[in-house]
Chains A and B, each alone.
Chain A
């Protein structure tokens, strides 16, 4: 049930426990226990809401920053990643294979805020060799969800 449960709540964390139990074909108490276990094991890290900020009047700027760093003896990339992810404006940090090392996703209110973070905080770190900042212009799809108009049911009545 674990995999199916995770697949459901990854898309809809607001689903109620009773319904979750029904569609999984198990008892409600089993769902409660399983969720508790998943939280304890750190498999469930939180229950967030996906928001399309573009549709609000609140301005937000998101940037993807490619960062090349010098790994440190004994710690690899972990300690430098930690120094970066501790900034609250950093949304995500990934270690990446290929042409650069860390992918940092940053969110700020304005273009200037993001660029000053990059020039003042990120590039000045000792181990950072170079950065390349890409601003996101439009989100088409996020977390497996396509932003935009919902599709209507176009199926026509046929016999049978």
Chain B
């Protein structure tokens, strides 16, 4: 029989954490710190609006690019939170989660051989999506000494005449790093100079703990070369609703919409009605959840400090990224032993790129009680390791 598979797909490495998670799910009493989604339920008024839309029989497709009312609310939101003006009619595409927007954006913009710059550690889907779109992914290894921010120099060094898109994943999963306005200004200059585009994944944009998130699309000359990606999963605890969006220049959005209409048709209708409510009346919910995340973030950083574990202070998303290099193990070894010996699951940093070696991603989308229990076990574990190594 002929090979039924596409080489391009077979050649994509499976995600490194699959194996790890398989062990976790077998282990009944394990505490997981591995999940990358909010622990809160979607606020009731948002769920209620979804239920109401079903009761009213709103069970049809929406227009391909999304419900008009939702697109208008998205534009209102970006106007009031970022001061960016988009035309709801031409510049917005409602997608099945931010992930679809990443995929569609790359497919709409890449010609064979184009290079896509991917700063790592970062979310695992950029690289495979770039490959599937026919691009050559070029990894920029971010450095702990820069708090995993992308510097103008790193960007400049990675750019070739084939570079087309920079993926800008901030606030960052897994490091929790953010890019402040001055950081963005420095790289915007390089981007404009080399005439490349930016795919700015701002899915964690509402979750920053040091001033308000700034979108790169807000800088002079950047809106026309930026695809801004956001969604409802993280800010409104709506992961299961699968709803995101992309905003950008109409030339790009219209081509993305074309692929989206053939591949997806439209994003789920119920979710779109619920999302309208989220944008209209959800600001308080976001604030409340953010306050809780921030308390947990402070707790974890304090716990690391007490056990002498090195960790830069992350100001975004709901992850901390402590350094475990002192133990002379790979991230994978550390995480595996931590799981086996203390029954706590934290994701090895290498799952998010080679530059995550020596780090661990710990999610704080868990209750304080759970985090306290887990930090007790981590303390026990690192004390044991230090004793093994003859340190004190």
Contacts and interface: CB of A to CB of B under 8 A. Distances in A.
A25 B298 contact: yes
A155 B34 CA distance: 11
A160 B352 contact: yes
B17 A160 contact: yes
Contact of B299 (A22, A155, A157, A160): A22
Interface in A5-39: 7-8, 19, 22-25
A160 B24 contact: no
Given A4-B291, A22-B302, A23-B298, A159 B17 contact: yes
A39 to B, nearest CB: 22
Given A22-B298, A23-B298, A159 B35 contact: no
A157 B34 contact: yes
A97 B134 CA distance: 67
B84 to A, nearest CB: 29
Contacts of A153: 39
Interface residues of A, number: 14
B125 to A, nearest CB: 8
Contacts of A159: 15, 17-18, 21, 124
Of B32, B123, B294, B295, the most chain A CB neighbours within 10 A belong to B295
Interface in B358-379: 368
Contacts, number: 43
A86 to B, nearest CB: 38
Contacts of B25: 157
A10 to B, nearest CB: 13
Contact of B123 (A7, A155, A160): A160
A18 B47 CA distance: 37
A7 B292 CA distance: 10
B351 interface: yes
B342 interface: no
Interface string B29-63: 00010111101000000000000000000000000
B296 interface: yes
A23 B298 CA distance: 5
8 contacts: A22-B298, A153-B39, A155-B39, A157-B24, A157-B32, A158-B36, A159-B18, A160-B125
Interface of B: 15, 17-18, 21, 24-25, 32, 34-37, 39, 123-125, 173, 291, 294-296, 298-299, 302, 347, 351-352, 368
Given A23-B296, A157-B32, A160-B125, 16 more contacts: A4-B291, A7-B291, A22-B298, A22-B302, A23-B298, A24-B298, A155-B35, A157-B24, A158-B21, A159-B15, A159-B18, A160-B15, A160-B17, A160-B123, A160-B351, A160-B352
